[in-house]
Structure 1
Amino acid sequence: MVCCGLVTAKNEPVPLKSIEVEVEVRDHVATVVSNLNYENKEDKPVEAVFVFPLPGNAAVCHFSAKIGGKHIVAEVKEKQQAREEYDDALSSGHQAFLLEESDQSPDIFTLSVGSLAPGESAAIRLEYVTELAVEADDGLRFCLPAVLNPRYCPQGSESTSVQVTPVAASLVPYTLSFCARVSSPRPVSKVESNCSLEPLQYLNTEQNQATVKLAAGHKFDRDVELLIYYKDAHQPTAVVEAGQATAKAGTLMGDPAVMLSLYPEFPQTVISSLASCGEFVFLLDRSGSMDCPTSNSKHQETRIGSARDTLLLLLKSLPMGCYFNIYSFGSTFEHIFPKSVEYSEGTLEEALKKVQAMDADLGGTEIFQPLKHIYSQTCIPNQPRQLFVFTDGEVCNTKEVLDLVKKNSGSHRCFSFGIGEGASSALINGLAKEGRGHAQFVTGTDRMQPKVMQSLRFALQPAVQDISVSWHLPKGVSANVVSTPLTSIFQGQRSLIYAQLIGQSSEAAEGSVTVKYSLAGHPTENQLKFSLKPAKDTGLTVHRLAAQTLIRALEAEQREESGQPEEGLKKKVIELSVQSGVSSSFTAFIAVNKDINEPIKGPLTRRNVPIPAFAMMPMMYMSCSVPKMRSCRSAPCPPAAAYYSPMAASSVCFDAADESLEAAKMYLAPSSRVEKSIAKPLRDPLLELVSLQKASGCWMLDAALATALGKPSKELKKKKPSAVNNDVWATILALIWLHGSKMEAKDEWELLALKAASWLRAQNAPSVVECVEAGNTLLGFSVQKDALGL
């Protein structure tokens, strides 16, 4: 009685033949169409059940099936009603299809394909629209989720134990084809991916339309990720979309809708003056799965190792005068200091020693309690709290965690980082959204450090206050904003606003939106003018994204009022979901085929999909906690190990969460001992140098610095100009080395270099020009004094 994730050692067949995915990217929005082709090669009727991930902000808007030449389009109905119709259809011997969102997390879906007769084929079509996130290098990130990692259930939650058997990715019996078409008002510069792609094909001379395909032989070991780069990406845009012809006027679907994409530009004086205060709280996941590699490439460091290196950079880059603390969590949580302490040489050294000793040894992924403890700590006056969360795991109580962050959003900004394949987009994006911060994902061979340092720059920007949005529209036209109010704005980062346009206007009319806010005490505003003429061929994308945005807001409001009369809000969500055809936590897609010559007879055999094992993990049996997702037919759902995705396929990575995983540890012990016996690779020279910097920003002239710079200690001392003290000389040498040999990683060390330059200026040291010349001669570079900030 298992929903999915189980395959027997006899390799029982799973009726999935192939997956075909077509993606239409328009500027920063993607429409994804997945076709799943099934065939029952057994001599008995089967029911196939799949649990899979989707982006947390996806608006699922179409679900249909083709069987025997008949096309059945699913309807959106209240969830319990849809489940009952599905069960009634199966018990009557009919074919039925059910697609429903998890009650616990909006990025997990269950697809049930019921009553496939022997020898019968079925084609399932699933469509969703989603916004693309902006990366640190201005690329737009599209991710086709393929990996669903364990959803750890905290102690005391309802769970069921199931046996899960992962299989090697090479044994997966289905194929994936993937094609993306990209179009934008601006030229497409390039498209990159963590997977092998065929060459980019431009479709016109303007190069603003292109197609790209996944190369054959996808290994099913990672999410399929595209990074799309446009020229002049930071241009504000507005898309007006006509209403649905069949929808009632005055409703969200019946009226025109507009999507505004804003890129606020801050005054240069504000950008250049980073804050020198703040309370920085770092929350690090130390669950068992953080010991997995960050990718499947050889010699890749572990997630916990990458996180430790990143914390080193973060701590060295903090400004003097701020406060900080470091929490780590698994099944329990720890903190380095009882409460946040002032940043000094002593507290920094104490923190770094403990960070270096941190390992992935705290069990499961219980993030709720450490967050609750952090929020219980009194905020420090005039030290704005900035929370950085690093996790690779998923929790089955995602909505509970996000509600906690939202409840405390007035006291902090939250910057979240999803590490490794399969990090929950609902959790990572939700933490940042509810915490008025910014989210980043670190997958494949990505370096975590530049992404995290970008977020630190955001955290050091002054908080934007008193945000207001005003609309200037033709007479008789008004805007009903369905997005949640803007609560955070960062330099160069996109802000999206969805609105329903009520009233009539000519297509030649224009409107504008003005965003006003206070930044470091200075009133600032940005304006966007746009035409009210509807765009062509948008396919109701804007309306569906607007509906999904409103649905999520109403669901969150409903949870806030839990325990009080809440049927009104739930009813609103269901009505909007049904009207817009967009899924919600209270609805499901249901399709029933009663037009078959003869109802299928005999008991159904449930077939579940094989799980491709994460490349670094040996096959093993394990027992996992299972969140209950289906109340019908007493079927527990889904097992807390990685599952198959109908968009691609899942890999597996395990949290040492339960006692059963202790047995798994014992099983893995021999190979672990072999791994630990292998000599560790030498430390990154950049991190080696950074580790020697003091809290104030300076370096010491000692043997460790000489080693990091690759020079004999005696030579460093011999070449020092006589009028300069040791620390000034050492700091100038370190800065020259950074500028001379690590410019490609400037994003990672720029903030700590600014701190070093500030320290040097405060010393009023003589002979700085002579020092720079001597340092260049010694190290073999030609870095100018001005480049060092001196």
Structure 2
Amino acid sequence: MRVIRRLTNIFGLTGFLGLAIAMCLSGCAKRPSAVTGLPAGVAMPASAPDSPVENTVPLTPPTSSELVEPGPINIMKATALPGRSYDKLQSEGGEELWVIARNSAKATPNDNKEPGSGALLTKGEGEKEEVPLPLRHTDVKASVHGYIGTVDVQQQFQNPYNAKIEAVYVFPLPHNAAVNEFVMTIGDRHIRGVIRERLEAEQIYQQAKSQGYVASLLTEERPNIFRQSVANIEPGKQIDVNIRYFQTLAYVDGWYEFVFPMVVGPRYNPSHITNGVGAVARNQGGTSGQSTEVQYLKPSERSGHEIALHLDVDAGVSIEEFSCVTHKISKTSTTPEQLSVDLSEGDRIPNKDFVLRYRIAGERIKSNFMVHRDERGGYFTMMLYPPKELGQLGRAPMEMVFVLDCSGSMSGEPIAQAKAAIRHALKQLQPGDSFQIINFSEHASQLGAKPLEATPENIRKGLAYVEALNSDGPTEMIEGIKAALDFPHDPERLRFVCFLTDGFIGNEAEILAAVHERIGASRIFSFGVGSCNRYLLDHLAKMGGGAVAHLGLHDNGAKVMDDFFERVSHPAMTDIKVDWGNLQVSEVYPQQMPDLFVGRPVILTGRFSGANTANIRVTGKAGVQPIELNFPVTLEDSAGNALPSVWARAKIAELADRTTYQANSDLQGEIKQVALDYGLISAFTAFLAVDSSQKTAGNVGTTVPVAVPVPEGVKYETTVPEK
């Protein structure tokens, strides 16, 4: 297909800040970093924004040295194929490309950059008054093949006011989501966004916004928190934004778990933190002092926003049973291997995570080694199972340290669930074990100066201590970390530290750095309570060499704790090494091989070249006993095109973890380069789309943040400060 040789030959790259920021050609979809622009002294005629441009060569991104301070922009239509459906555009490659080029004039300062500035007042009156907000509906369509999920999210924005607006929506996605596609839809036109360095994308978005063009910007505020901004939505008009991501699913004791988070929980930020996630009441934007804010609806308010979700599962083997305790669903099954579920119409308020678990037949999934090859080489993902021998070995005496979050966000159902789980765990302790109970909010307190022997009398003391705990105050989790990891380790026992928390904090990096510094011989098992901060809970367990479990408000706390004791009652397989045979493997993530626990496989993702078959040999220890596993693999493409994105996201996560405890200025650059190379959003890249076919009328629109309900079980008055 022809691309823009003439534009590159004539205009060059030197004076250009702009990007191709709409639907790029089908080749650009694979390499979404394609751009071109104007050199100094060459002006693009502002009076002819619709001039056609011949496409004859691939477009390439400018280097950092070629980026200059942005000035006012002209936007030129390069190719237009209106009236095409999104699916058709994908399959045939007929797309639009919009080029933003810089003039020599300086940019006009923009005083309306922060979401919340000049927010429209839409306060409703009466109980459950519906508040008009720009996010009308979210539609989720997901499919799972093997243990890889593909999820398409459509956010439908509509302007309910009589003046132009900018909509800003802070929302969650899974922290391992590889977001690699972004399309803005206006009427029957579909404009494909491209990935750019974040600062560059933000600058161009602000310019397009100030000049009246409809534009969308997607940024990552945390690995599991994103910000969607849509500028210049005209009164009564609708603009849809489509996001696609891939992810691997958790697999525990024969059950898969598909999770779609629906709301960002309110975060507590210690006084020294300014780059956290602020929780504020609706219409009180800018009052938290944090770089990211979420506005929450009062209990007496609701918006018209609802969510629809459809999930198709193709397990490859029979699905024995399934469970969704978070939502009401309807289901259909065409074959024993397939399952389709939909959210019931009466349960579509987005105030809790959607969690579907399903159990498959047999002790192993059908495809535990999946591969994909493209022009960049081979990619694989492997699910490594714990050997049966682990379940046959008894456990040694252990030191259990329970760390309970007693902050205000845990008030009500969350702390009740967590306390019930701890009570059950105390009753499972055996002679020879010891235990400690630590609780934290603003400060940390504990049952005693040192762990207590698990005698009947001491267990009764522990039960009484737990019963007396209440939730109130801020979430100074660092105090709980210090109290749990700083006291001397008992060399005669294995120490297991169990954190029970919703993880609603804004200083995750500080917490993970403290864990890395203090972990020593302890293992951390994290229990996420309610609609929790899954990113923090998963990474606590990862850095702590343990595992994560999630204790939903409707889960059986005793069952969750029984599963935990089944896990720790047998030795883990440690000192794991993998001999890949004649498979030439590189860049495998996670780089630090995790231990294997009973019922808990580990997912490894990497690159390969070489043979079409291989014999993989895994060795390790269970206690002092050596264990060896061997299994052959056939390298047939079985994962579609998802694996390169999944691998790149795993690499970004590894690099991001290192930034929490390593002072290395090169890490951010590495993250950014991987994200640009694979077209993924990250902390340092962003998706951008601009419709330059016409300017909207009127001045810059008022910014309207999308207010959301607090998560189910979280009390508004204890977590959202009124100003």
Alignment TM-score, normalising by the size of structure 2: 0.76
Higher RCO (CA < 8 A, seq sep 6+)? 1
Contact 1:75–1:589 (CA under 8 A) maintained in structure 2: yes
Superposed CA deviations along residues 737-787 of structure 1, whole A, max 9, x for unmatched, are xxxxxxxxxxxxxxxxxxxxxxxxxxxxxxxxxxxxxxxxxxxxxxxxxxx
The equivalent residue for 2:597 is 490
The equivalent residue for 2:426 is 315
The equivalent residue for 1:75 is 194
- Aligned match of 1:180 in 308, 311, 318? 311
- Aligned match of 1:210 in 339, 348, 354? 339
Contact 1:261–1:497 (CA under 8 A) maintained in structure 2: yes
From the superposition, tell whether residues 344 and 555 of structure 1 become closer, same or farther in structure 2 (CA, over 3 Å).
same
Amino acid at match of 1:653: K
- Aligned match of 2:580 in 448, 456, 471? 471
The equivalent residue for 1:261 is 383
The equivalent residue for 1:271 is 391
SS at structure 1 position matched to 2:373: coil
Q: How does 1:729-768 map to 2 (within 5 A)?
A: none
The equivalent residue for 1:364 is 474
C-alpha distance in structure 2 between counterparts of 1:27 and 1:168, whole Å: 41
Contact 1:86–1:97 (CA under 8 A) maintained in structure 2: yes
C-alpha distance in structure 1 between counterparts of 2:329 and 2:437, whole Å: 40
C-alpha distance in structure 1 between counterparts of 2:152 and 2:615, whole Å: 34
C-alpha distance in structure 2 between counterparts of 1:264 and 1:116, whole Å: 53
The equivalent residue for 1:436 is 545
Shift of 1:232: 1.6
Identify the structure with the greater helix proportion: 1
Shift of 1:149: 1.7
Structure number with greater Rg is: 1
C-alpha distance in structure 2 between counterparts of 1:170 and 1:198, whole Å: 28
Shift of 1:189: 2.5
From the superposition, tell whether residues 9 and 57 of structure 1 become closer, same or farther in structure 2 (CA, over 3 Å).
same
Shift of 1:460: 2.9
Shift of 1:602: 0.6
Gaps of 5+ in 1: 246-253, 294-302, 617-651, 664-790
Superposed CA deviations along residues 355-397 of structure 1, whole A, max 9, x for unmatched, are 2211113x12121122023222121113221100101241101
Contact 1:20–1:178 (CA under 8 A) maintained in structure 2: yes
Superposed CA deviations along residues 405-456 of structure 1, whole A, max 9, x for unmatched, are 2344442111111111x20110111111111111111224211111122112
- Aligned match of 1:42 in 141, 145, 161? 161
C-alpha distance in structure 2 between counterparts of 1:402 and 1:355, whole Å: 26
The equivalent residue for 1:228 is 358
Gaps of 5+ in 2: 1-113, 125-129, 283-295
The equivalent residue for 1:8 is 122
- Aligned match of 2:608 in 491, 494, 501? 501
From the superposition, tell whether residues 510 and 170 of structure 1 become closer, same or farther in structure 2 (CA, over 3 Å).
farther
Shift of 1:479: 4.2
- Aligned match of 2:256 in 140, 143, 158? 140
The equivalent residue for 1:548 is 649
Q: How does 1:682-761 map to 2 (within 5 A)?
A: none
Identify the structure with the greater strand proportion: 2
Shift of 1:219: 4.0
Superposed CA deviations along residues 234-265 of structure 1, whole A, max 9, x for unmatched, are 337344433344xxxxxxxx111011112122
Shift of 1:615: 6.8
- Aligned match of 1:201 in 333, 351, 360? 333
Shift of 1:7: 6.8
C-alpha distance in structure 2 between counterparts of 1:558 and 1:149, whole Å: 24
Alignment TM-score, normalising by the size of structure 1: 0.70
Aligned residues: 587
C-alpha distance in structure 2 between counterparts of 1:151 and 1:613, whole Å: 11
The equivalent residue for 2:521 is 411
Shift of 1:74: 1.6
From the superposition, tell whether residues 430 and 550 of structure 1 become closer, same or farther in structure 2 (CA, over 3 Å).
same
- Aligned match of 1:522 in 618, 625, 636? 625
Shift of 1:485: 2.7
The equivalent residue for 2:72 is none
C-alpha distance in structure 2 between counterparts of 1:64 and 1:470, whole Å: 42
SS at structure 1 position matched to 2:359: strand
1:594 aligns with 2:692: yes
SS at structure 2 position matched to 1:50: strand
The equivalent residue for 1:243 is 373
1:481 aligns with 2:588: yes
Contact 1:2–1:162 (CA under 8 A) maintained in structure 2: no
The equivalent residue for 1:730 is none
C-alpha distance in structure 1 between counterparts of 2:419 and 2:660, whole Å: 36
- Aligned match of 2:706 in 604, 609, 613? 609
C-alpha distance in structure 2 between counterparts of 1:615 and 1:545, whole Å: 31
Shift of 1:552: 0.9
The equivalent residue for 2:41 is none
C-alpha distance in structure 1 between counterparts of 2:474 and 2:215, whole Å: 37
C-alpha distance in structure 2 between counterparts of 1:433 and 1:12, whole Å: 41
- Aligned match of 2:565 in 435, 456, 460? 456
C-alpha distance in structure 1 between counterparts of 2:120 and 2:710, whole Å: 12
C-alpha distance in structure 1 between counterparts of 2:491 and 2:188, whole Å: 68
Amino acid at match of 1:142: F
The share of aligned pairs that are identical, in percent, is 25
Contact 2:152–2:244 (CA under 8 A) maintained in structure 1: yes
Contact 2:143–2:311 (CA under 8 A) maintained in structure 1: yes
The equivalent residue for 2:435 is 324
> What is the RMSD computed on CA atoms of the aligned residues?
2.6
SS at structure 2 position matched to 1:395: coil
The equivalent residue for 2:297 is 166
